Structure 1
Amino acid sequence: VESILDKENFTLEELLDEEEIIQECKALNSRLINFLRDRAQVEQLLRYVVEEPPEDADSKRVFKFPFIACEIFTCEIDVILKTLVEEEELMNLLFSFLEPNRPHSALLAGYFSKVVVCLMLRKTVPIMNYVQVHQDVFRQMVDLIGITSIMEVLVRLVGGDDHVYPNFLDVMQWLADSNLLEMIVDKLSPSCPPEVHANAAETLCTITRNSPSALATKLSSPSFVARIFGHALEDSHSKSGLIHSLSVCISLLDPKRSAIVSPLMHSFRHQHMYEPSIPVNSETINAMLPKLGDLLMLLNVSSDEKILPTTYGELRPPLGKHRLKIVEFIAVLLRIGNEAAQKELVNTGTIQRVIDLFFEYPYNNALHHHVGSIILSCLESKNDAIVDHLLQECDLIGKFLQTDKNPVLSGDSNQPTLPAAGKCAPRVGNIGHITRISNKILQLGSSNSRIQASIQENSEWNEWQTNILQERNAVENVYRWACGRPTAFQDRTRDSDEDDLHDRDYDVAALANNLSQAFSYKIYGNDDNEE
């Protein structure tokens, strides 16, 4: 670098081609920095970051120079960043990357994102002042929200990284007063592609995790909840829109839940995982209740003609991620303990339908997990009506006993899960969940007279839990296993913070979602990743 700087006429490209340039920048080489801080050099560096190279450009122009230019900005050298933020033309050049009439390659989008995020951290007030004056920036970003790098910038702009600056609250209020939220929510429309749905939902979930804030308050208002559900149910064929709209609704009910599976979790607000939850506004819940009937209709699988071959037979139809998401939403809604929600779920027959799904899909472990959560929420409720509904009208115990007595897959052609013809029907896969829930019923029965009365009058249950359940518990009690388990296992205690985190119920379908993203990038060459 020094030898180049010693020349009389050297170019920026010569410096960018030099291997040591980033180290020299970080070492604050004064001659180098004085050259790079010049307006003309900053402009050229920006052009490498935001402008697509010519078609006939060599590999250095295509790959190396944009990368090095981005790295120079992210070295966070104050005088270089100062040149950029104090010159409006340079800021216009930077944000010209967002213009709709130009290409937006993933490579340059990543570099653009890194530069803007660096400015937001080091030159927060000037850049926020700039975007307030140039409101098109937000609209352009929302239009490009399907590009994850752009979404990450947007997430930081809406306060998702805990970086509080002098006029933070004013900017958040200004954002709430703008139409930014409307634009993002409208990206959940079925007409948008799945990657746009996913990133719009992630941005909205980030806003809910930042509660309380002006944006979060606006998002949880009844009009916005209705707007989100409107997109979710607008087109029954758009599974992606439904799934991601429900993810936002789940995040409104339980912000911490969405944080666990968020790809940005470790970047944003990680330390807030252990804070107590903020109570959900009853108006938010009430705005969701009128839509439960529409969601219940989607849980009806009889009109779905899809067939999925499996190792044990076939699914007619498969449950699908969209139905699983609906069940998860119901589980989270019930856990809030809102009486109006409980009443609506009982009256619409939603709980009954969900329990039927538990038995109709005996190998869907994610479904069993959510239904188990729903059952426990009902049993632990202080509302006697929902307990009676579960144990009497839904005949939960009767269904458990029937399944446990005959734990093989039924060959009934009216059921969605069918065994392979000519093979011995396999054992159903939900017996473990039945055992766990049955133990919970016994445990709760000791403190809840209504549950106690209901199970005591069932002689078949009493016989089953005495003869079969107790024996099964003894066999499955790991503390009694004499196979060399670590002695520390019995004495292990968990940190109280960890305890809170692990005992919460998180989205077990997240793994499936991550896997489906791999499919969507055609890693496995699977063209049909809907189910």
Structure 2
Amino acid sequence: MFWRMTGLSAASPVDTILDKENFTLEELLDEDEIIQECKALNTRLINFLRDKSQVEQLLRYIVENVPEDSEKKRSFKFPFIACEIFTCEIDIILRTLVEDVELMDLLFSFVKPDHPHSTLLAGYFSKVVICLMLRKTAPLMNYVQEHPDIVVQLVDLIGITSIMEVLMRLIGADETIYSNFADTLQWLESTDVLEMIVDKFSSSDSPEVHANAAEILSAVTRCAPPALAAKICSPSFVGRLFRHALEESRSKSVLVHSLSVCISLLDPKRLASASYQAFKSNLSHGTLVTASPETVDGMLESLGALLKLLDITSSENVLPTTYGCLRPPLGKHRLKIVEFISVLLTIGSEIAEKELISQSAIKHCIDLFFQKSLHIFWCCRYPYNNFLHHHVENIIVSCLEVKRNQLIDHVLNDCGLVGKVLAAEKKSSLSVDSNGPTLPSEGKEPPRIGNMGHITRIANKLIQLTNSSSMIQNHLQENSEWSEWQTGVLVRRNEVENVYHWACGRPTSLHDRGRDSDDDDYRDRDYDVAALANNLSQAFRYGIYSNDDIEEAQGSHERDDEDVYFDDESAEVVISSLRLGDDQDR
């Protein structure tokens, strides 16, 4: 659809309707060009829509449910068009809404307990309210402040994602800059909104409620008004969070999402990312939450109870998989506990490290990676759970890279890391022992366990750290079996797996980089990956490639942003393959 220009096109169908003596709002909403005319600031149309009666009717389309047998236009088209009219951000229409208390009451009647809450209409309601937050911040916040029940009602509907987004922006846990931000949000500091949100872990059994509550609390840890930021990292708040998580009657979803909030308090990578975004956006109102020693102490008080949940000996569940049966499956809650321990080791707290050692938390996690069978060998209890392998590898590396000998000694001697690595190499296929933790499928060859790549990386990390740690160096030198395996197996494996020696056309600028280059800054590269990636995406967008390629690219855009994010490494792989093609042509 093209923009109409005066003198170059026929009269708009909207103007034709407006020329009638008697016309209705429904006739205008049924016209396909009404949104285009609103954006073009059609004076006659805007003067009609700005009237209170018309704004009221537009709001009713958004907040009022209709019977299932209603006409499709009334159920779907009119609510959509009404929402789009408001989000065109026409100031005079928005002013009519925010300056009239009755209209605001009608808008927020959608969140009342006795009102039906259609997911479709909730999305339209959310878009309108967020538009008002951005364009009419002060009047909207003043209205909400005068009606404190609105915050309570929004919290009660937190399981609806659209409502959760409204609440998140309302309490300032968003990077968007509002005009007069500090003044309009100051009143929230005296409310119990965070307590109401965290109590949803206890009052609801819905996983959607738990996930959305955790999303808001995690957002508060990244960007929130100072008072809310200080409250969420207080020991009392952390204790309240763990009390809900460890209730025996609660579902494991509560534990998983509660630990997600704690991880967001501890994870330095996430905080660093938020800090960069805050700097980039020049946010002056947000406070990045850093875990204080008191916060960590509050988490450590519940460590013993968490470790009890890691125990899998009493579970009799069996999960059939394509490669065999898991007895029992790990479960999301145990995986989240291991992730929490992994993140806890990254903050550099000596108190946390001592507590993890004394309660054998590190040993317990490593035992999930290397699980002893009835024989002299070690086998992996969860041989294909890459999430578990990733977190345990991070735990081991964090312990080895720290400068405190107590932690290194614990991993090498108490946990027997080197012996477990060597034993796993001897039994690198899935055990056929009927009493083993994981049984291969009948009639098939036992597959190779899936954590051998992680084991190889751990072994290489041990060798790398001998240059900086005499304790690791002495421990490895004293083990003759390790020396034989290193020279006879590991060295040859590294040569085979070293992609920089493969004749596959990798960029020459990468040849001089070390194997542990995942964390190197992209600025070390001699080409602009972001620009090349953008060129590639533009090529797909404008049809340079074949129709099949275009359809595939369009299909990928329908997925979540997390799935299709085109990062530097992805661009690097594509660039490498293109250079490989060039080499073959030559």
1:481 positional shift:
1.4
Q: 1:300 aligns with which of 308, 311, 315?
A: 311
- Superposed, which structure 2 residues align to 1:317-356 within 5 Å? 317-356=328-367
> CA 1:170 to 1:413, structure 2 compared with 1: closer, same or farther past 3 Å?
farther
Amino acid at match of 1:434: I
Q: Distance in 1 between matches of 2:67 and 2:279?
A: 42
User: Cα RMSD between the aligned structures?
Assistant: 2.7
- The match for 2:494 is 473
Question: Is 1:406 equivalent to 2:427 in the alignment?
Answer: yes
- For residues 239 and 63 of structure 1, what CA distance do their matches in structure 2 show? 38
The TM-score, its normalising length taken from structure 1, stands at 0.88
Whether the aligned pair in 1 keeps the contact of 2:222 and 2:287 (CA below 8 Å) is: no
8 Å Cα contact 1:226-1:287 kept in structure 2: yes
Partner of 1:79: 92
User: Equivalents in 1 of 2:318, 2:183: separation in Å?
Assistant: 54
Residue 431 (structure 1) aligns with = 452
What is the CA–CA distance in structure 2 between the aligned matches of 1:4 and 1:309, rounded to whole Å? 65
Measured in 1, the distance between the counterparts of 2:130 and 2:304 equals 43
Cα 1:24–1:82 change in 2 (3 A) is same
Is residue 205–residue 258 contact of structure 1 (8 Å, CA) maintained in 2?
Answer: no
Greater CA radius of gyration, 1 or 2?
2
| 1:17-166 alignment, distance < 5 Å | 17-166=30-179
Question: What's the secondary structure of 2:439's corresponding residue?
Answer: strand
The SS at the match of 1:356 is helix
Q: Per-residue CA shift, 1:164-213, capped at 9, x if unaligned?
A: 33542344443232010011111122743000011111111111111573
Q: What are the within-5 Å matches in structure 2 for residues 177-326 of structure 1?
A: 177-189=190-202, 191-210=204-223, 213-235=226-248, 238-254=251-267, 256-257=269-270, 279-326=290-337
Rounded to whole Å, the distance in 2 between the matches of 1:450 and 1:211 is: 44
Q: Which deviates more, 173-182 or 105-114?
A: 173-182
CA distance, structure 1, for counterparts of residue 469 and residue 268 of structure 2: 30
SS at match of 1:189: helix
Q: Which consecutive residues of structure 1, in runs of 5 or more, have no partner in the other structure?
A: 499-510, 516-531
Displacement of 1:66 in angstroms is 0.6
Which residue identity does 1:456 align to in structure 2?
Q
1:84/1:90 contact within 8 Å kept: yes
Q: Name the SS of the counterpart of 1:162 in structure 2.
A: coil
Shift of 1:247: 0.6
Q: 1: distance between equivalents of 2:226 and 2:449?
A: 47
| Counterpart amino acid of residue 246 in structure 2 | L
Equivalent pair of 1:190/1:231 in contact (CA under 8 Å): no
Alignment partners' CA distance in 1, 2:490 and 2:300: 38
Moved more, 90-99 or 414-423: 414-423
C-alpha separation between the residues in 1 aligned to 2:392 and 2:215?
Answer: 25
Amino acid of the structure 2 residue aligned with 1:27: A
Determine which of 483, 508, 519 is the counterpart of 1:462. 483
Aligned residue type for 1:424:
E
CA contact (8 A) 1:209 1:259 kept: no
Q: Given the alignment, which residue of 360, 384, 390 partners 2:411?
A: 390
- What's the CA shift for 1:159? 1.5
Instruction: State the Cα distance separating 1:104 from its structure 2 match.
Output: 0.6
* Cα 1:144/1:270, change in 2 over 3 Å: farther
Percent of pairs identical after alignment?
65
Cα contact 2:225–2:287 (8 A) shared by 1 = no
- Distance in 2 between residues matched to 1:154 and 1:277, nearest whole Å: 19
Contact 1:190-1:238 within 8 A present in 2 as well: no
Cα distance change, pair 218–74 in 1 and its aligned pair in 2 (3 A): same
The residue that corresponds to 1:451 in the other structure is 472
Cα distance in 1 between the residues matched to 2:250 and 2:447 = 33
**By how many angstroms is 1:162 displaced?**
2.4
- Partner Cα separation in structure 1 for residue 458 and residue 171 of structure 2: 42
Per-residue deviation, 1:404: 0.8
Q: Which runs of 5+ in 2 are unaligned?
A: 1-13, 371-380, 514-519, 526-558, 564-586
Distance 2:138 2:393 in 1: 49
The answer as to whether partners of 1:358 and 1:367 remain within 8 angstroms in 2 is yes
Give, in whole Å, the separation in 2 of the partners of 1:56 and 1:365: 49
> Retained in 2: the 8 A contact 1:209–1:255?
no
The answer as to whether partners of 1:125 and 1:165 remain within 8 angstroms in 2 is no
Report the Cα distance in structure 2 between the residues aligned to 1:93 and 1:212, rounded to whole angstroms: 29
Give me the whole-angstrom Cα distance separating, in 1, the residues matched to 2:252 and 2:388: 17
- Over 3 Å counting, the alpha-carbon distance change for 1:396 and 1:192 in structure 2 is same
Report 1 or 2 for greater relative contact order, CA contacts < 8 Å, sequence distance ≥ 6.
Answer: 1
CA contact (8 A) 2:171 2:224 kept: no
